[in-house]
Amino acid sequence: MDGILSQYEVKLKKLLEKFLDPDFQIRNDVYINTLFSHLSGQHDKERHIETKNSDYRVPVIFITSYHLEKCIWKVGAATQIPDIVLDCDKILICIYFLQLFMLKLVVVPPPELKQLGVAVMKLINHRMLAKQHIIFLKLCHYTDYMWTFVLPNITQPISEDDLLKLELQLLPLQILPVVIVTFKHCSIIAKDFDNDDMRDIFITKLFKTMNEQTTRLCYQWKNIVMAEEEIFSMAQQSLMLIMTYRKYYSKNRAIIIFQSCIYAFKDIINTLKDGRTTAEIFYQNSAYLISLINCLSTFINEHEITWTESVETMCVLNATLDFLSLSRWSTRVVIEALKLLNLSISKYMSPNLALLIDKTQDSALDQIGPLLINKLHDMNWEIRDSALEILITISTFACSKFPSFQRVIIDSDLITLVVSMAVSDSESFVRASAIKCLQEMIKVNDFWNPILIQQQLPEKMIQMLNEETEAIVRTEAACLVKCIYEHQSFPVEMMDDVYKTMVSAATTDLHWEVKTNALDFWCKVILNHLQNQGMIDGRFPDVTFSKEHKKIVTLTEKEIKYRLSKVLYQLSQSGCLGVFVAAMQDDCDLEVMKTAAEKMKKIAKFFNLYNMDKVYTCSKSPTTPSHVSTSQKLNPPIHPSTLNTPPITPRMDYSDEVIDQIVQSSDINLLTNVYNPSDEVSTRPKFNTHVVEVTREAFLSVLHSDLDAIVNEKTKWLQNIDDLNSLLDDMLKCYNGDVNSMDCY
């Protein structure tokens, strides 16, 4: 062990001599990081302090014998390169915390904590007086960062009076540039806060977290920041550092940052509304506003700040609406403000209170409708898309959580506008977002009937699935068709078109997400057919009411099998069974195959409950091919009451039917169909919707096969398709063939 220590000592001594060389003027991260690693014992990306065997003999040698702290101070004073100064200061911070960490005491004595605080504050104060503002802010955050790694190693809780919450003392220094912006450019003075009781409570709480030394340092820092010309740049840098280190913040610190930012945001809005300052300076510094609003949204979302923890949350909605009512903001600022508005609606609307509200006049909600109409007509598609995100949230709440939003949407005629955007907006992302909004709107009966029915929404979605060129729009359209089928109902006369379109979407569409959404639709179709046959909560009850016979029927094993066979027959007629079998074919996308396999396993589990391993028939039928044409009708299931009577079902051969159609058509009509195709040209190629119809026997055979093995085989094939050996095999097979296509060159 002593030999190892000697090697470390020699290497680190040479490294330190190299680092302290006066001619060393070029920053070298290798030296800095290596020295830092050996001092703190940290080697991973997160810079955790290693505590293996609690052996700190190597750091002790350099901290005590070589006066490392003094040497690093000299290096920092000698260089003018900001990056090297910052690296030296980080090493000093590490030394201070490492000295505390090496005590290995269960209870850290107050003198040691005070010594740590004095050393850190001395370094920070030195950088502040040297007007190295960015280094000053980064050191404050880096001190917080180091403290998060030292604190878990102190097993005994430390008294707050002794600790004085070092991270809370540094927090006012970190957030002060943001506060000073409003003092300097919003004509805010201390007397303006005399009648603001809530802010007075916040300021009092903030001062209680600071000791005398920190308070004095804050006043000095305030004077320096006030004299800074590029205060917006400094405040933006402060917000960026807060966002970078936010994962190390406790809940209490996150609340203080949120309160500071919301007060700064409100001060800007109030002074612009009152005309006490010109808006031009904020238009020119829109990057600062973007960072401020983004910081608010992030801390609200990630730290789940509620009104019980901060009453300031109750004003976020009104403040954001007032901000958006001001004109001339840049596109990015408006988008960030719309995101904050969406978050405030979803987080700070009390459901219990909302259910008692029937009117929205003279409230913030009354402004939402006109605001959304304005933003949905904006020339920038990102603003329209962000406005639709808000409308999606409102539509979701309008169903049950906040019914008053129904009147807001209807009075502003937003439904008609959203349907129009879903069909004709120039940007595909906006069309997709509009369809997402409609997926929530159709759940509200007052929206569906009569507004959405009058807009012919089902017909438009079917047309969109057949003609839309953008996959993202077809994906949402397929999901909307599924939602309509689940929550409302299609007109009876449309069902054939709906089934044909969804068969095409599930089997011939070029995008896998469209196919998986179509499979979700067909799962709803299966569930609906089973429920029509009496299934409740995933099982058949002992008795049920038969709509067919108008009486209560006991569901025996034969009766249940008959009903399941009837469901399979109906699903086969609609093309549902063929869709799932096609989804398991080799030429299908892997994600589609996985989705189909998972859904078919659930269906198989249900069928196994009733031993449905074959179709329920009265007698053995002639051998039938696995696939028959859609024009050929399959034999319906035979009811148990007619088991003694052999079924007689007249059938017409498919070829005879085709011949009869040709005979009945005149020659001129046939020629017309050939040489005069329809003048209507679709922007998307028409796929053949007449897919083969799978028999019930064939579906049950696939259903009881090893679906996981099929998916695994497909997965392995896809993994090997790009393999070099596979490519060489294909080339050799081509070369060894009778005809070598490469000879032509």
Cβ atoms 442, 487 nearer than 8 A: yes
pLDDT-derived band at 553, boundaries 50, 70, 90: confident
Are the beta carbons of 460 and 419 closer than 8 angstroms? yes
Q: Which two tokens stand for residue 253?
A: 């610190």
Beta-carbon contacts of residue 305 (< 8 Å; ≥ 6 apart): 254, 255, 258, 299, 313
Residue in this structure with the two tokens 């090697």, named with its chain if needed: 7
How high is the pLDDT of residue 63?
Answer: 67
Nearest to 349 by CA among 307, 410, 312: 307
pLDDT score at 645:
32
Cβ partners under 8 Å of residue 408, min gap 6: 360, 365, 366, 368, 369, 394, 398
480 Cβ contact partners less than 8 Å away, ≥ 6 residues apart: 435, 438, 439, 442, 461
Mean pLDDT of 239-260: 91
Q: What is the rounded distance in angstroms from the CA atom of residue 617 to the CA atom of residue 647?
A: 10
The pLDDT value recorded for residue 30 is 44
Name the CATH topology of 361-490.
Leucine-rich Repeat Variant (1.25.10)
Q: Is the pLDDT of residue 654 over 60?
A: no
Scan for tokens 């960062």, then name that residue. Answer: 145
Average the pLDDT over 95-124 and give the result: 74
Contact 480, 498 (CB under 8 A): no
Indicate the burial class of 504 (C-beta count within 10 angstroms; 0-12, 13-18, 19 or more): buried
User: Given this model, what pLDDT does residue 503 score?
Assistant: 94
3 state SS of 544:
strand
Which range, of 136-140, 451-455, 625-629, averages the lowest pLDDT?
A: 625-629
Confidence of residue 550 (pLDDT cuts 50, 70, 90): confident
Amino acid at residue number 368: I
Burial class for 29, CB neighbours closer than 10 Å (0-12, 13-18, 19+): exposed
Q: Where are the beta strands (DSSP E) in 246-342?
A: none
**The pLDDT of residue 729 is above 80:** no
Query: Is the confidence at residue 530, as pLDDT, over 70?
Result: yes
Q: Write the CA distances from 469 to 165, 216, 464, 521, 605, integer angstroms.
A: 59, 65, 9, 21, 38
The residues that bridge with 515 in the sheet, in sequence order, are none
**SS3 for 145-162, per residue?**
HHHHHHHHHCCCCCCHHH
Residues 6+ apart with CB under 8 A from 453: none
Decide: 311 and 198 in contact? Cβ < 8 Å.
yes
- Look at residue 615 and give its three-state secondary structure: coil
What number of other Cβ atoms are within 10 A of residue 533's Cβ? 21
Given pLDDT bands bounded at 50, 70 and 90, which one contains residue 81? confident
Please compute the mean of the pLDDT values over residues 697-701 and round it to a whole number. 89
What is the average per-residue pLDDT within 142-169? 64
**H-helix or E-strand containing 387?**
helix 381-399
Quick one: what percent of the chain has pLDDT higher than 70? 71
More confident residue, 114 or 214: 214
Joined tokens for residue 483: 């939602």
Cβ atoms of 172 and 218 within 8 Å: the answer is: yes
**Which residues contact residue 147 at a Cβ distance below 8 angstroms, ignoring those fewer than 6 apart?**
97, 166, 167
| Mean pLDDT to the nearest integer, 65-94 | 81
Quick: pLDDT tens for 679-693: 333 344 344 444 557
The whole-angstrom separation of Cα 103 and Cα 431 is 63
Average pLDDT in the 569-593 region?
88
Measured in degrees and rounded to the nearest 5, phi and psi for residue 547 equal -70, -30
Residue 536 pairs in a beta bridge with 539
% pLDDT > 90, the chain: 32
Cα dihedral 584, 585, 586, 589, rounded to 10, equals -60
Instruction: Determine the average pLDDT of the residues in 265-287.
Output: 87
pLDDT band at 157 (very low <50, low <70, confident <90, very high): low
Q: Which residue has the higher pLDDT, 211 or 419?
A: 419
Beta bridge partners of 554: 543
pLDDT score, position 515:
95
Collapse the DSSP code of 602 into the 3-class scheme (helix H, G, I; strand E, B; otherwise coil) and give the result: helix
Q: For the ranges 17-21, 275-279, 605-609, 734-738, which has the lowest average pLDDT?
A: 17-21
Residue 341 CB partners (closer than 8 Å, separation 6+): 317, 320, 321, 324, 390
* Confidence grade of residue 8 (pLDDT, cut at 50, 70, 90): very low
The answer to whether the beta carbons of residues 476 and 440 sit under 8 Å apart is: no
Q: Which residue has the higher pLDDT, 638 or 710?
A: 710
CB 100, CB 110: distance < 8 Å: no
Please state the separation of Cα 24 from the chain's center in Å: 48
Highest mean pLDDT (candidates 17-31, 388-402, 650-664): 388-402
Q: What local confidence, expressed as pLDDT, does residue 495 receive?
A: 93
Between 350 and 347, residue with greater pLDDT: 347
pTM given for the model: 0.79
Distance CA 237, CA 294 (A): 13
Q: Given this model, what pLDDT does residue 280 score?
A: 85
Categorize the per-residue pLDDT at 332 as very low, low, confident or very high, splitting at 50, 70 and 90. very high
pLDDT tops 80 at residue 481: yes
Average pLDDT over residues 172-201: 82
Sign of the alpha-carbon dihedral angle for 294, 299, 304, 307: negative
Query: In the numeric block, which tokens belong to residue 171?
Result: 């927090």
Helix (H, G, I), strand (E, B) or coil at 628: strand
Short-list 515, 457, 520, 465, CA closest to 488? 457
Residue 238 has φ and ψ, to the nearest 5°, of -65, -45
Q: Which two tokens stand for residue 225?
A: 């920041």
- Segment 395-417 mean pLDDT: 88
Range scoring the smallest mean pLDDT among 9-18, 91-100, 275-284? 9-18
* Region 699-720 average pLDDT: 84
> Which two tokens mark 335?
């988008």
The confidence band for 23, taking pLDDT boundaries of 50, 70 and 90, is: very low
What pLDDT, on a 0 to 100 scale, did the predictor assign at position 290? 95
Q: Does residue 517 register a pLDDT over 50?
A: yes
Answer with the residue of higher pLDDT: 695 or 645. Answer: 695
pLDDT at 457 over 60: yes
- Report the pLDDT value the prediction gives residue 670, as an integer from 0 to 100: 41
pLDDT of residue 359: 58
DSSP string, 410-453: HHTTHHHHHHHHHHH-SSHHHHHHHHHHHHHHTTSHHIIIIIIH
Question: Is residue 14 very low, low, confident or very high in pLDDT (cuts 50, 70, 90)?
Answer: low
pLDDT of residue 724: 60
Sign of CA dihedral 36, 38, 41, 42: positive
Q: pLDDT category, 324, cuts 50, 70, 90?
A: very high
Binning pLDDT at 50, 70 and 90, where does residue 650 land? very low
In order of 60, 106, 257, 596, the CA distances from 6 in angstroms are 13, 31, 48, 66
Q: Where are the domains of the chain?
A: 361-490, 512-639+690-705
Pick from 346, 310, 72, 337: which is nearest to 198 by CA? 310
Pick from 186-200, 208-222, 362-376: least confident: 186-200
* Mean residue pLDDT across the chain: 77
Tell me, rounded to whole angstroms, the distance of Cα 3 from its chain centroid.
55
* Per-residue pLDDT reduced to its tens digit, 614-627: 765 533 333 333 33
Q: Tokens at residue 266, please?
A: 């409100």
Contact call for residues 375 and 419 (beta carbons, < 8 A): no
- Identify the band that residue 333 occupies on the pLDDT scale cut at 50, 70 and 90: very high
Token output for 96:
């201070």
| The pLDDT value given to residue 470 | 94
The whole-number pLDDT of residue 731 equals: 67
